[in-house]
Structure 1
């Protein structure tokens, strides 16, 4: 009896050691790009680019992502004439948390604290995928802080069935650490290419996504635990958010790829646009990772959103439309 237990213990230590090694290597491949801000409950890693006196844009990434999802192909061009702030969500990328793991609403409060700390004047808040849910929560709770929302393939409704590509994150809380350290990282090193293909489909995965796009950071135990937590709490938090959509006080624009194979454009795009007063929806060809795979179209759409908002408010938000 003791011998099999000993073998199991040695194997577990070996797998945990391998997971730690892979996590360190991922952080070497994708080191911090910016600076850090202390907000209640978190230490947020963010990149602040573009002219400081230009209109501000804050960009919030999605599940299993980090801020390089935006800097890979999109943010550089926006930063030519806007102040662009990219944020690693609490517990993701190089941002850390203190205390209980934050849900969508609590993460929104942390991003709001960063906006206040940086003294941003009503930025356009951009959210991709689950980052769209965080943006929606922030605008509902603190509408005075933002000019409007630009949501790219957002999670905006309660989803009854977890996307197949993320089904492996459905670990019960008591098993989550063991799976994160003993199974998730070794399995991820073998299946990572297929998972990326499923997330990007039908668009191709860029060859440099692991580094320039920050994809390598998903291969860490902490990323699995954060992703598993968020998948588990998303349906309940999204139901509470969706119930408040009729009370929206800021403009909301939504962009979706018609061929998105992660989130349903009809549910999370059309239904949400119909429920939020004045919201708009634009559909383009493409899958879920539009900021990377369709950066030109995404930038053009963002500039139209900025121009429409400038016209509505009577202010000049951008010189390029």
Structure 2
């Protein structure tokens, strides 16, 4: 019994030391990420959260909402330069992502939609066109359902529109249902593991196109190497199963102009299931498929994505 006791003690100490080492590495990587990519925009208090956003140009407003694990650089770096003058372009870090906090708001899709509606008021956007990418598309659709008076239309890029019970295996490490385990893993193991698997994950997300050479900095990729960002991303993924099945039944309620742009070779969200399947669910939907393009068209076909956004903006603002 004494031998067994000491074996257990040694095992516990070994695990504690291993977790402690990983926690130290996590803090170092997070500090380095924030040094490399500091905040670039403004902040505004929305409820109890500080929301980080960029705001440039003048004219009718367009608000950009990023997807799972993303941040505002997914639009600022890739798409903004391709947009013409004449629009007020605003991109936000969703609560918990980038440099926005998640204290008073939650990860549930209706909660995130409500936070965006409050952000629209706080920043003074007069019925913007709402652009949502990936998970940001599902959240944008919820804004249209729950807060239709806040926006003029939707331009959705590679959007999550239908519930898929099993996430891609490349995202399996994010699916942590226990809030306690999510906190522990975020603070210890998640960031070193994310760095180790970064090449494989990014190839999956961007493929078949190559990952942009400047994605780590210009595209904000390094900001994912922080415990708060991993925790928010994992929470977002888990929350989808709670709200998306019911949301799918309500798409017919949407009465504002809606456009969807998908790549035909998207590996993350299949264009048939999440794009073509929306035909007939929303009246007058504008659906465009980019042949041979993956999940991140705003990086690889910025001019075509900008043209799509401006086309939907024309319909939305005319209406």
Shift of 1:163: 1.7
User: 1:48 and 2:55 equivalent?
Assistant: yes
Distance 2:76 2:262 in 1: 19
Q: Is 2:153–2:312's contact at 8 Å kept on the other side of the alignment? A: no
What do the CA deviations read for 1:49-87 (whole angstroms, capped 9, x no partner)? Answer: 002xx0110000000100000012211332622100000
What do the CA deviations read for 1:84-112 (whole angstroms, capped 9, x no partner)? Answer: 00000010000002146331111111111
Secondary structure, counterpart of 2:280 in structure 1: helix
User: 1:191 and 2:203 equivalent?
Assistant: no
The TM-score normalised by the length of structure 1 is 0.92
Show structure 2 runs of 5+ residues with no match.
Answer: 1-5
Distance 1:272 1:37 in 2: 34
Partner of 1:319: none
Q: 2:141 aligns with which of 128, 136, 139?
A: 136
Partner of 2:13: 6
Partner of 1:156: 161
- Provide the aligned length of Structure 1 versus Structure 2: 310
Secondary structure, counterpart of 2:44 in structure 1: strand
- The Cα RMSD (Å) is 1.5
User: 1:71 and 2:69 equivalent?
Assistant: no
Q: 2:264 aligns with which of 258, 266, 273?
A: 258
Partner of 1:317: none
Partner of 1:58: 63
Shift of 1:11: 2.0
- Structure 1 moving runs of 4+ over 4 Å: none
The TM-score normalised by the length of structure 2 is 0.93
Shift of 1:211: 0.6
Secondary structure, counterpart of 2:197 in structure 1: helix
Partner of 2:132: 127
Show structure 1 runs of 5+ residues with no match.
Answer: 314-321
Distance 2:168 2:18 in 1: 31
Equivalences for residues 155-304 of structure 1 within 5 A: 155-173=160-178, 174-285=180-291, 286-304=293-311
Distance 1:41 1:241 in 2: 26
Equivalences for residues 73-92 of structure 1 within 5 A: 73-78=78-83, 80-92=85-97
Distance 1:79 1:185 in 2: 38
What do the CA deviations read for 1:203-250 (whole angstroms, capped 9, x no partner)? Answer: 110111011001111122222211221111202311121111111121
Secondary structure, counterpart of 1:80 in structure 2: coil
